Amino acid sequence: MKTSLPKNTNSRSDLVLALGLEIAAYALLMALFLIEGGWILIVAVILVIAVSVLSRRYPHLRTRISAAFRDNAKITGAVGIVLLLIVPVLLKSSPYWLFMLVTTGLYIMAALGLNLQLGSAGMMNLASAAFMAFGAYTAGLLSLDLGVSPVITLIAGSLVTGLFSILLFVPVLKTKGHYLALVTIAFQFMVVILLDNLEFTGGPQGLKNIPPFNLFGYSFGTTINLGFTSFHFYTNYYYLMLVLVVILAIAAQRIYHSWIGVTLATIRDDEVAAKTSGIEINKWRLLIFVVGNCFIGLSGAFYAHMVGFISPPNFTFEKSLVLVSIVILGGMDNIFGIIVGSLLLVLLPEKLRVISDYRFLIYGLVLVIMLIFQPKGIIPYRVRTYGQSLNNWLEKIKHTTSDSNTEEKIG
Partner 1 sequence: MNEAILPLLSTKDLTIQFGGLMAVDRVNIDVTRNSILGLIGPNGSGKTTMFNMMTGLYIPSSGDIQFDGESLIGKQPYQIARRGISRTFQASRLCLDLSVMDNVLVGMHAGMRQNLYSAVFNRKLVDEETDQGVKTALELLYIFNPGILDRASEPAGRLPQIDRRRVEICRAMAMNPRLLLLDEPSAGMTPEEISELMEDILKVQRASDDITIIIVEHVMSVIRSITDHVIVLNFGRKIAEGPFEEITNNQEVREAYLGKRGGA
Contact flag: residue 246 with partner 1 (CB under 8 A): no
Q: Is 287 in the site for partner 1 (CB under 8 A)?
A: yes
Q: Are 133 and 195 in contact (CB under 8 A)?
A: yes
Q: Does 384 bind partner 1 (CB under 8 A)?
A: yes
Candidates 25, 43, 159, 260; binder of partner 1 (CB under 8 A) is 260
Q: How far is the CB of 177 from partner 1 (least distance, A)?
A: 17
Residue 258 in the binding site for partner 1 (CB under 8 A): yes
CA distances from 315 to 45, 139, 191, 348 (A): 28, 15, 9, 20
Separation CA 317–CA 308 (nearest Å): 21
Percentage helix, strand, coil, to 5, in the chain?
80, 0, 20
Cβ closest to partner 1, residue 70 vs residue 254: 254
d(CA 358, CA 151): 41
403 is an interface residue for partner 1 by CB under 8 A: no
- Identify which of 256, 250, 288, 295 has the alpha carbon closest to the alpha carbon of residue 109: 295
230 near partner 1 (CB under 8 A): no
266 binds partner 1 (CB under 8 A): yes
Q: Which stretch binds partner 1 (CB under 8 A): 76-84, 96-104, 305-313, 380-388?
A: 380-388
Confirm if 321 and 125 have CB atoms less than 8 A apart. no
Q: Which is nearer to partner 1, 355 or 397 (CB)?
A: 397
Q: Among 32-40, 53-61, 190-198, 267-275, which window interacts with partner 1 (CB under 8 A)?
A: 267-275
Q: Does 9 bind partner 1 (CB under 8 A)?
A: no
Instruction: Examine residue 133 and tell whether it contacts partner 1 (CB under 8 A).
Output: no
Q: What is the DSSP letter of 310?
A: B
Nearer to partner 1 among residue 130 and residue 294 (C-beta): 294
Looking at the Cβ atoms of 99 and 256, the one nearer to partner 1 is: 256
Instruction: List the one residue from 354, 397, 403, 406 that touches partner 1 (CB under 8 A).
Output: 397
By CB under 8 A, the count of residues binding partner 1 is 39
By C-beta, is 120 or 153 nearer to partner 1? 120
Least spacing, CB of residue 42 vs partner 1, in Å: 34
Neighbour count for residue 176 (Cβ, 10 Å):
16
First and final C-alpha spacing in the chain: 45
User: Among residues 6, 356, 385, 407, which is the contact residue for partner 1, using CB under 8 A?
Assistant: 385
- 3-class DSSP state for residue 235? helix
The correct pick among 262, 354, 355, 369 for binding partner 1 (CB under 8 A) is: 262
List, as one string, the DSSP characters of 187-232: HHHHHHHHHHH-TTTTGGG-B--PPPPEETTEETTS-EE-SS-EE-
Q: Would you say 56 and 50 are in contact if contact means Cβ atoms under 8 Å apart? A: no
Count CB-CB contacts under 10 A for residue 376: 14
In the complex, least distance from residue 118 CB atom to partner 1, rounded to whole angstroms: 15
Among 200, 216, 228, 259, binds partner 1 (CB under 8 A): 259
d(CA 337, CA 70) in angstroms, rounded, equals 17
Binding site for partner 1 (CB under 8 A): 251, 254-255, 257-263, 265-266, 269-270, 272-281, 287-288, 291, 381, 383-386, 389-390, 393-394, 397-398, 401
